Structure 1
């Protein structure tokens, strides 16, 4: 299976948590909905297109920034300075899977895009360090059955996570590993009622730090040995 792999850099970024009111808190990585939004913008999509997305990455540090926030209530507008959490020097690895013709269109659109890209807020600019297609294979991980890693037959005794990553809870078969729980927005549909509120599809996920070891289950690895955990189920599986 071939997927599109993006190596991205952001000098600063804020991936705002939806219910952070008094302080603008940020997720440690962009949620699936943020990446979905970027993909659909690049493709000029007018309706939801299903893609498989895996998100992982690192940041150097978190710092605080003050920004003016506007509040709209009926006919009045008020503003106040609010503390905003920002990530510094963000490096992201994003894998995108799906219909291969759509992936090729996305690849070409990224190469020829005629305006700046952002991820998170509009001012959170993105630099594309690399974009390419990579081959992905499914591996069985079992620390009990496999004593020596056998890459030729896609069998591993364990896999050490290289960088922090989102993993859907229903996908993670190694129940010993723990992470920070997030209910991440994935995509939305407009409410049929007149209020036009968005109805979000959400995914219960773990944010798992670098260094944790997966000792059981099935995983996807690309040709560089990087781990993938997709946000969508295909044929009843996330991988």
Structure 2
């Protein structure tokens, strides 16, 4: 199987969860909607109904919390409020993404990521993202035991391949769109597993030895 493989690097990122209310919480990896948004931003066009699959894994050195004064408009009282807010940030973030799609779409994303049409970023516009090592790779099914080199989002089916892992379940957004002025997203259940865990069974491994954790067709 062919995949587009890309490495994304950023000094600091926050991937805000939908359950963030007064405070802000972050996903440990970018949700599919963030990756999809980056791909189409680089391409300089909107999504036209294309379907593809994603594998998202990565790591960071540390997590720290920044404090800001958030300005928010109170619709009921019709006034601007200033709220002290804590923002978690992933420091020295690295992410490896595999994109499975039709060859034409893979080649479009390959060209776009090498020469994006606009400034690219992850998890907010404060910090740039370095797009590195964009390439097309092959992956084959491997049967045996391997150890995770990176933290990863895995599907419900892949969860059964692990030994006694402590999973964290997340609901992550995939495609988002505007309907009647409101932002509407499709949602997917994934499981977060940390590096160092062992997995055994039939898994996809690319030609560079990285596991491909497909999250299903999107």
TM-score (norm 2): 0.89
> Of the two structures, which has the highest relative contact order with CA contacts closer than 8 Å and spacing of 6 or more?
2
Q: Distance in 1 between matches of 2:185 and 2:64?
A: 29
Q: Distance in 1 between matches of 2:80 and 2:162?
A: 48
Q: Distance in 2 between matches of 1:128 and 1:25?
A: 25
Matched, 1:230 2:217: no
> Would you say the 8 A contact 1:14–1:124 is kept in 2?
no
Residue aligning to 2:170 = 182
How many equivalent residue pairs? 214
Q: Distance in 2 between matches of 1:175 and 1:112?
A: 38
Q: Distance in 2 between matches of 1:224 and 1:175?
A: 22
Counterparts of 1:23-172 in structure 2, within 5 Å, are 23-47=23-47, 48-74=49-75, 75-139=78-142, 155-156=143-144, 158-172=145-159
Instruction: After the TM superposition, list the runs of 4 or more consecutive aligned residues in structure 1 that deviate by more than 6 angstroms.
Output: none
Counterpart selection for 2:188 from 184, 188, 203: 203
Matched, 1:215 2:200: yes
Deviations 1:91-149 (A, max 9, x none): 1111111011111111111222253210110113101231111111122xxxxxxxxxx
> Would you say the 8 A contact 1:5–1:134 is kept in 2?
yes
1:231 shift after superposition = 2.1
- Please provide the CA RMSD for this pair: 1.9
> Would you say the 8 A contact 2:55–2:213 is kept in 1?
yes
1:189 shift after superposition = 4.2
Q: Distance in 1 between matches of 2:136 and 2:53?
A: 14
Relative to structure 1, the CA distance from residue 226 to residue 210 in structure 2 (aligned partners, 3 Å threshold; closer, same or farther) is same
Q: Distance in 2 between matches of 1:170 and 1:163?
A: 19
Gaps of 5+ in 1: 140-154, 235-239
Residue aligning to 2:20 = 20
Q: Distance in 1 between matches of 2:62 and 2:162?
A: 29
Q: Distance in 1 between matches of 2:93 and 2:177?
A: 30
SS in 2 for 1:172: helix
TM-score (norm 1): 0.82
Gaps of 5+ in 2: none
Q: Distance in 2 between matches of 1:124 and 1:53?
A: 23
SS in 2 for 1:42: helix
1:73 shift after superposition = 3.3
